[in-house]
């Protein structure tokens, strides 16, 4: 049976670029802020230093991609288990150069089948997937309002949209990569008629928890 397709965002979903951004903002602009202060996606409106300066700091973070960590949770292990049942499409509008993003993915042992670098975040909707993982609340709502399955990884900058997203049957808000895995496995086996035969023992255990 053919695999379903899973789109996966990078910044704020796989890659913990925001903590590195905060380090650079402190070094260059003296901004003393925490992740909890980033209460909206365009957080420069709240703490500065400005849109162009903010984007430049993200570019600087990707220029030194080896210092960017993974988001919380066993991200690589989960991605490998999901890769057993999904074709994985990396779909990112990151300001990082594609070669640096790909090098970061390789460094962190993130499996994928295709890589898409979109001109802007809304263009992600144009890539056909069965489910999409995202940290931008506005993008998640765009997917959900078009009837597309989407999982939003809860972050300080998207909490303001949680209530709106809960109105959509195709949207799911995950607090962790463990919750992402459970929901994605449940979706996969609903689409495959419950067929678990091709899974590893580890993935089969996760599938049983997700789809008893």
Of 42-46, 87-91, 182-186, 188-192, minimum mean pLDDT range: 188-192
pLDDT exceeds 60 at position 35: yes
Residue 95: left if φ>0, alpha if ψ -120 to 50, beta else—which one? alpha
Span 27-45, average pLDDT: 95
- What the block records as the tokens of 209 is 């928890």
Stated pTM of the model: 0.89
Q: How far is CA 58 from CA 18, 52, 54, 100, 149, in A?
A: 8, 10, 7, 12, 28
Phi, psi of 131 (to 5 degrees): -155, 150
What percentage of residues in the chain have a pLDDT greater than 90?
87
Report all structural domains of the chain as residue ranges with CATH numbers, in order of start.
4-14+70-210 (3.40.50.1000), 17-69 (no CATH)
Q: Count of residues for the chain?
A: 212
pLDDT exceeds 60 at position 207: no
pLDDT exceeds 90 at position 209: no
């Amino acid at each position: 049976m053919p695999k379903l397709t899973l789109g996966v965002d990078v910044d704020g979903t796989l890659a913990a670029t925001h903590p590195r951004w905060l380090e650079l903002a402190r070094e260059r602009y003296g901004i003393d802020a925490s992740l909890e202060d980033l209460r909206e996606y365009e957080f420069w409106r709240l703490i500065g230093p400005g849109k162009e300066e903010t984007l430049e700091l993200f570019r600087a973070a990707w220029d030194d991609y080896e210092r960017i960590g993974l988001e919380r949770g066993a991200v690589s292990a989960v991605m490998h288990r999901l890769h057993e049942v999904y074709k994985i499409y990396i779909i990112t509008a990151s300001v990082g150069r594609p070669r640096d993003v790909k090098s970061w993915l390789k460094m962190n042992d993130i499996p994928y089948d295709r890589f898409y670098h979109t001109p802007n975040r809304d263009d992600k909707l144009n890539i056909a997937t069965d489910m999409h993982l995202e940290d931008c609340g506005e993008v998640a709502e765009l997917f959900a309002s078009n009837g597309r399955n989407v999982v939003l990884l809860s972050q300080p900058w998207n909490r303001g949209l949680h209530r709106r997203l809960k109105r959509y049957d195709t949207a799911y808000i995950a607090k962790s990569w463990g919750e992402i895995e459970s929901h994605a496995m449940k979706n996969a086996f609903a689409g495959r008629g419950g067929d678990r035969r091709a899974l590893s023992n580890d993935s089969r255990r996760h599938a049983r928890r997700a789809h008893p």
